[in-house]
Amino acid sequence: MLRFMIINGPNLNLLGRREPEIYGSATYADLVKLISKHCQEMQVDCKIMQSNHEGAIVDAIQSAPDYCDGIIINPAAYTHTSVAILDALRAVGLPAVEVHISDVDKREDFRHISYPGMYCFKTIKGEGIQGYCTAIDVLLQHIWEQKPTI
């Protein structure tokens, strides 16, 4: 069974509490439920985490190769600032997909740059929390295409 690590950055634990016009009304618990259900349907084992701390996210990425085949990451605000998260992704070399609930390219200019996105082979944005399911499907497809069929 393939295993994915799903990493959520700062303030995503507050989903549903403010700015529903941007992020929707689903809570972080709803997001975890949605991801878990989709992973179960797709027969993927998943480890879902959220942290408000850049170093904890770097630590999680560094530990990923021990038990994961790929990474899905919403670095939240660290998207637009973190060379450390970009470097960690490059260092571990696992396939990675970036996901954003909102369409960051249609928002403020400072949200148009993504450092982790420079490593990720695909970015899903503006699909709401359903974008995580798209990211799982895209990562699965990518890994299947890489694996030789015997």
Catalytic residue annotation = 23, 100
Q: Which long-range contacts (CB under 8 A, 24 or more apart) does 53-58 make?
A: 53/10, 54/78, 54/82, 54/84, 54/85, 55/84, 57/7, 57/9, 57/82, 57/85, 57/88, 58/84, 58/85, 58/88
Interface residue with ligand CA2, options 79, 116, 123, 133 (CB under 6 A): 79
Shortest spacing between CB 93 and ligand CA2, in angstroms: 23
Query: Which residue do the tokens 């571990």 mark?
Result: 92
Shortest spacing between CB 73 and ligand CA2, in angstroms: 10
Q: In a 3-state reduction of DSSP, which class is residue 114?
A: coil
Q: Toward ligand CA2, which CB reaches closer, 23 or 119?
A: 23
23 in contact with ligand CA2 (CB under 6 A) = yes
Residue 119: φ, ψ to 5°: -100, -40
77 in contact with ligand CA2 (CB under 6 A) = yes
Shortest spacing between CB 74 and ligand CA2, in angstroms: 5
Distance from C-alpha of 42 to C-alpha of 54, rounded to nearest angstrom: 30
User: For the chain, how many residues are written?
Assistant: 150
111 in contact with ligand CA2 (CB under 6 A) = yes
Number of residues that bind ligand CA2 (CB under 6 A): 17
Interface residue with ligand CA2, options 104, 135, 139, 140 (CB under 6 A): 104
Q: Which residues of this protein are in contact with ligand CA2, per CB under 6 A?
A: 11-12, 14-15, 17-19, 23, 74, 76-77, 79, 100-102, 104, 111
